[in-house]
Amino acid sequence: MKNQVQLITYVDRLAGTLEGLRGLLAPQGTSPLAGAFGGVHLLPFFYPIDGADAGFDPIDHTQVDPRLGGWPELRALTGELDVMADVIVNHVSADSPQFQDFAEKGEASRYAGLFLTMEAVFPNGATEQQLLKIYRPRPGLPFTCATLKNGERKILWTTFTSKQLDIDVQHPEGRAYLDGILERFAENGIRMIRLDAAGYAIKKAGESCFMMPESFDFVADFTRRAQALGIEVLVEIHAYYRRQIEIAAQVDWVYDFALPPLVLHAFEFGTADPLRHWIRVRPNNALTVLDTHDGIGIIDIGADAADREGSPGLVPPAELDALVERIHANSGGQSRQATGAAASNLDLYQVNCTFFDALGGDERRYLLARALQFFLPGVPQVYYVGLLAGRNDMALLQRTGVGRDINRQYFDAGQLDDAVQTPVVQRLLELIRWRNGHPAFGGRFELLPGQGATLALRWTHADQWAELTVDMATLANQRRWTDTSGQVQTDSF
């Protein structure tokens, strides 16, 4: 993966089609976004893109949704840019041909072993204690009772929704299903994948069924299978921050999901101490993010849910609760309407809000947050709504009732052009191109001495360097760097 800023986007919500996206991003193009990104993560482009979970419940994980184009258009894009795609390892749609075959034939189906049932994990039945130990990011137990077309009754494992049927990744059919996706991706030039919901992929009676030792083993094994095809692996897991550190040692890349709430905390409480501590211990093989297609993670900086007293979070519980309330206040209460029980498809560990609105639409703090993101070790990734300093889409939220849609806006060509011309987006694009081109970011990183509100970061490579200093309380800041002639340049946000 190039050490340059990456874009993460839905194809249809930013550009309509794969061909349109290529026109926006191709390095030799004339678009204002041309050449701005070292790569692009395409959020689910599989058939269909508009299922129960915005493409994360594929009917056919190996087919491009024809409304976006096809594999030839995808290959054209991979010929211009590094492309990342999702492998949804935990589940498949109830409308998939595999499940339809299983529903028709029951245990006689060749796909019978693909779908995980409660009985497969609890062959002798489950006790109340065992069921209560299962971790699920949403209320209730992860099971759906289903009557197959042949009359058989099954209790299917459904971690997320009743339409997303969990895969038995340890069964030969489950393994073959996932390997088929890897092979299709490799054939079409995809060289990076994100493992979606990997922390839930392994189930074990009497355990939490989330981020167990066996889960790490599965991720390590799947990573080896992908690497054998020339594909790098990014693991997507929202969990206690020490789990990220542990899993980073086993894969190519992890997300720095602790960064967004820690940056918000630093601004809201006027202290850089928790953020500074995280910078000291965080894994450097990370994609740094401030926003994604999901909400702003809270679990990532909180105490370990399984051991709150012995495993404290990066910020105290009272401050974490206060931070959530401040995000709601900054957004004028809009994020509250999209979070938790206020919206369907709810996640108990995230606040649904654009990052720009989480900062109250403050352009200065927003640009400082991006500068901090770009200065941390790792590869920065910018979400398409964040790139355009997008605001909460209350109309889309009202139309769908899905909380995360508040941050999944559809941009038409006119809206895109208007957004790109705003001063905050122009300054952000300037910062992205600077981060991509400055040689210092290929060198050595230093967290400079500091305490309280002041945070100072520096990169050095040979005689080139770049430095950022921010007072999180007053917003006083300075960016200093050497230019191509060796002269020192200085500015601020």
- Of the candidates 343, 368, 470, the residue with the CA atom closest to the CA atom of residue 428: 368
Q: Please, which residues have CB within 8 angstroms of residue 362's CB and are 6 or more apart in sequence?
A: none
Determine the angle formed by the axes of helices 213-227 and 241-248, rounding to 10 degrees.
40
Q: Please, which residues have CB within 8 angstroms of residue 426's CB and are 6 or more apart in sequence?
A: 420
CA 184/CA 180 separation, integer angstroms: 6
Tokens of 441: 């970011």
Tokens of 133: 């130990």
Of these residues, 12, 236, 291, 393, which one is catalytic?
Answer: 236
CA 218/CA 211 separation, integer angstroms: 10
236 is catalytic: yes
- For residue 395, give the amino acid letter: A
Residue 485 burial (CB count, 10 A): 5
Of these residues, 73, 82, 196, 405, which one is catalytic?
Answer: 196
CA angle 12, 17, 20 (to 5 degrees): 115
Residue 163 burial (CB count, 10 A): 16
Tokens of 454: 């002041």
- Of the candidates 287, 290, 284, the residue with the CA atom closest to the CA atom of residue 444: 284
**Contact in structure between 264 and 359 (CB atoms under 8 Å):** yes
Helix (H, G, I), strand (E, B) or coil at 110: coil
Helix (H, G, I), strand (E, B) or coil at 248: helix
196 is catalytic: yes
CA 480/CA 16 separation, integer angstroms: 39
CA 457/CA 378 separation, integer angstroms: 14
**Contact in structure between 72 and 28 (CB atoms under 8 Å):** no
CA 14/CA 390 separation, integer angstroms: 12
- For residue 463, give the amino acid letter: D
CA 290/CA 80 separation, integer angstroms: 26
Q: CA-CA distances (angstroms) from residue 193 to 167, 219, 397, 444?
A: 18, 13, 29, 27
Tokens of 444: 């050595």
Q: Please, which residues have CB within 8 angstroms of residue 287's CB and are 6 or more apart in sequence?
A: 6, 234, 253, 254, 255, 256, 378, 379, 380, 381
Tokens of 170: 């340890």
End-to-end CA distance of the chain: 29
**Would you please indicate which residues are annotated as catalytic (active-site) residues?**
196, 236
